[in-house]
Structure formats: structure tokens, C-alpha cells
Amino acid sequence: MSPNQAFQRALMPDAQSSKAAIHEFIALAHAVDVAAFIERLEPVQALQHLRSLDLAKKTAVFAYLDLSSQVAFSNLLPHDELASVASLMASDKQVDLFNQLEPAKQQQLLQDLGEEQRNDIRRLSAYAEKTAGALMCCEYVTLAANLRAKEAIAQLRQEAPEKETIYRSYIIDSDRKLIGALRLHTLILAADDKPIMALMETDPVKVGLNDSQEAVAHVINRYDLTAVPVVDENDRLVGIVTHDDAADAMQQETTEDFHKTGTVEPLMQSVMKASMRLLYKKRIVWLALLIFGNLISGAGLALFEETILAYVALVFFLPLLIDSSGNAGSQSATLMVRAMATGDVVLSDWRKLILRELAIALALGLTMAALVFPVGLMRGGTEIATVVALTMILVVMVGSIVGLSLPFLLHKLKLDPATASGPLVTTIADAVGVIVYFSIATALLNI
């Protein structure tokens, strides 16, 4: 099987496939592929296929559906069937679904679930979105500190069927305080009577309940973990975040950053499935805001009406100069936004970076001035060429500095650095560029 998703789609039965082919696919394919297939069917047909699965597979497929599809099916399934599916889902997925249901459905589901799960849902649904608390699940193994290797393995064997991961167990004291983590890898290598206190990793890497999902993903990635324990303010173990959930969260964060970089408000769902109305709403906000920025450039130009009328050739270079400034600024902004997202650059690095940026921007500006000078000569003579070249150096530097600094400034103001998108930087750089260009022109051309 190829990993290519297009190919995976091609493997799926389509509307023309025989009933037998569809049944074979649904029975044999991985739950995530079945979920992708079901999402492409009409609701009635989809529900039929979903309900035809045995409970374990039904749950696995259901858990892989988009949250919006899960909600839709929740409203179509009989309440006891929904409860039996939900009760088998990992607690983080349970809560994600629960939070999206209508109040009446929520009450029904709570009633249908056992007490332990009811309490877990109540507790987990209270955590803010995009935090470790919202991302964590409760299906992990805790071990008492006084066990020996053999006893620990016995306990793992007993609890494994219900746990999301048993590859790391957590050792807690009587107060649920986290005192160690134990890899299954280490455990199965150990002699039977070895105390787990001697095997465990003390002071394991952990995250706090209110840490952002981005920070959690960074920790899992940095320390190459399969899961990270989550502790409350008293250092008590309250959950774990697994590497696959963290990877999903990271992908979502990255997509948001991408969208912001293109001045699209984060979509939070598939572009393919998003409605036109939603896409319009997510795009118009910034487009409209940037109009006002651009009107400043226009107002700037109006100030120099006489200069324009005297040397209309200056206008021919306007798109070139303001775009070059914006392009250089976009480059710096993109480099910084990404470096901040990966943790490569932090707030205090600005001072170090700004001097280097000035030097790089000067070199870029000089190169570009050298490239446009001959064009200026051809089109407008020595004077125009000089104005264009000088302006080029200055606006590339201004654009670069704006692009480099804006993400830092936004971060300092507790806003997302990714908001320092190319278009925003370009708009600011344009307004400055217009003023710089015609000021130089007015001065040098003696108007």
C-alpha cells in the first residue's frame, strides 16, 4: 500500500462499487480509512454502514470521524448505541464530542454512562480548549512505588486492555504525586524481583494542566516521548497526552499559523469541507482591514501630485519599489514567525537579530538597486535611476526591519506572532515606501 493519500482515496470503493466490494473494504480496512470512506457517503447510507460494524470497530471508526460528523451521527444513533460507542472511546475524544453536543444530548449521554466516566467527562470538559487539560486522556497505568518488576508486569497485563498506552507507566505516591516514570522496555528487561523504584526514571518530564497544546507538543517532540504526564498545581498526576494526539494538535496549530500568514482567520476545519459562507467570513476581515492601510499609501501619493505630474516615469517604478519592500518584509516575517513557532527564536533574541537583519537588508537592497539602476536609466535618465536605486536600498531595509520586528511586537503584546502576515507587512511597508520614494524624488529632482 502506498502512503500517498490520493492513492488511499483511490483504493476506496466509490458509488459504482458492488455491495460486496464495499463490505469487504469496510471489514478489512483500517478504521481511519473506513472513517474517511463513510464521511464521503450520504448520511443515511453512512449510518447504515457504521451501524453494521461490530462494537469495537464501530467505536474505532467513529473516533476517527471529524468532530462535526461525530455530532451528526450522535443525533442519528439511538441513545443506548451512542452510549456504548462513547463509553469505549478514549476520554479525550469522549470529551471533545461531549462538548459539541446539544445540552439535552449531553444530559442523556451522562445518564447512560457509568459513574466513573461521567465524573471524568465532567472534570475534563472544564479545561480550556487547546491546553494540556483538554488534550489529555485518563487511560494510563499508575503503579505503587513499592512494587517489584514481576508484580508491575502482572498489573500491566491486567489493566492493559483498557489503557491507551502501557509503554510508560507512572509511579505515584499515596497523594497521587508523580514520583517516576517507567518504560515497559526497561521493565521487561529487569529481573523479576527488582524493585520498580530502582528501574524508574525519577523526575520525569511532565507538563502542567494549563500549558498550551503547542507547548505540550514541543515537549513530546523534544524529549522523543510516546506520552507525557500532566500534573495539576500540586504536582498530582491527572492525565497523559499521547504522542499521536500531540501530533494532531501540532498539525492544527501549524495550519492556523499558515492561514494567519496568508491573512486568513484560522479555519479550524478542512478547506475542502468548509462552506463558502465560512470561507468568505474568514477572508473578508483582513482584506477589509488592509484596505485602510492601503488608503494611507494613496493619501501619501496624493501629497506628491505635483511630483507625479512633473515626472510621470516615477509611477512606472511604483509597483516595483513597494512590492520589493513588501517582499523583503514578508521574508523576514515568515522566517521569524516560523522560528518562534518552533522555539528556535525567543523574545529576547530581537536585539541580536535586528543588527544582523540591518546588514543583510543593506546587502539585499544594494544588490537590487544595482539590478534596477540600468532599467531606471533606460526609462527615465540618470536622475530617475538614482532616485529609484536609492529608494530601493531604503525600502528593502525598512521592509525587512518591519517584517522582522512585527512578530516580536505582536508576541510582546500577547498576540500571535503569526498575525504578522505577508499582506500586513506589505501594507505597512507600502505606506512607508510611498513616502520614502516621493520624498527622495522631490528632494533630488528639485521640484
1 touches its own copies by CB under 8 A? yes
- Could you say which DSSP state residue 349 is in? G
Minimum distance from residue 83 beta carbon to its own copies (Å): 24
Out of 20, 44, 309, 413, point to the residue binding its own copies (CB under 8 A).
309
409 touches its own copies by CB under 8 A? no
Do 86 and 78 form a contact (C-beta atoms < 8 A)?
A: no
Residues 157-216 that bind its own copies (CB under 8 A): 157, 160-161, 165-167, 184-185, 188-189, 203, 205-208, 211, 215-216
CA 401 from chain centre, in angstroms, equals 26
| Residues in binding contact with its own copies, number by CB under 8 A | 127
The residue among 28 and 104 lying less far from its own copies, judged by its C-beta, is: 28
The residue among 166 and 171 lying less far from its own copies, judged by its C-beta, is: 166
The residue among 58 and 101 lying less far from its own copies, judged by its C-beta, is: 58
- Could you say which DSSP state residue 201 is in? E
Instruction: Give the DSSP per-residue string, 256-278.
Output: HHHHHHTT-----S-TTT--HHH
**Strands, E assignment, 373-438:** none
Three cell numbers, residue 73: 451521527
413 touches its own copies by CB under 8 A? no
CA 408 from chain centre, in angstroms, equals 19
317 touches its own copies by CB under 8 A? yes
The residue among 78 and 319 lying less far from its own copies, judged by its C-beta, is: 319
150 touches its own copies by CB under 8 A? no
The residue among 113 and 406 lying less far from its own copies, judged by its C-beta, is: 406
299 touches its own copies by CB under 8 A? yes
Out of 237, 345, 406, 428, point to the residue binding its own copies (CB under 8 A).
345
374 touches its own copies by CB under 8 A? no
Out of 347, 409, 415, 443, point to the residue binding its own copies (CB under 8 A).
347
371 touches its own copies by CB under 8 A? yes
Residue 130, φ and ψ in degrees, nearest 5:
65, 25
348 touches its own copies by CB under 8 A? yes
| Strand pairing class (201-202; 178-183) | antiparallel
- In sequence order, the 6+-apart residues with CB closer than 8 A to the CB of 188 are 153
Angle between helices 243-261 and 318-342 (to 10 degrees): 160
439 touches its own copies by CB under 8 A? no
Q: Cα(192)–Cα(188) distance, rounded to whole angstroms?
A: 9
Report the SS3 class of residue 387: helix
Among the candidate windows 17-25, 73-81, 170-178, 425-433, which touches its own copies by CB under 8 A? 425-433
Residues 63-122 that bind its own copies (CB under 8 A): none
Residue 13, φ and ψ in degrees, nearest 5:
-65, 155
Out of 101, 121, 153, 389, point to the residue binding its own copies (CB under 8 A).
153
331 touches its own copies by CB under 8 A? yes
Out of 180, 326, 407, 417, point to the residue binding its own copies (CB under 8 A).
326
Out of 43, 114, 298, 381, point to the residue binding its own copies (CB under 8 A).
298
| Strand pairing class (168-172; 142-144) | parallel
18 touches its own copies by CB under 8 A? no
Q: Cα(115)–Cα(22) distance, rounded to whole angstroms?
A: 38
316 touches its own copies by CB under 8 A? yes
Burial group, residue 271, by CB count within 10 angstroms (0-12, 13-18, 19+): exposed
Q: Cα(133)–Cα(240) distance, rounded to whole angstroms?
A: 9
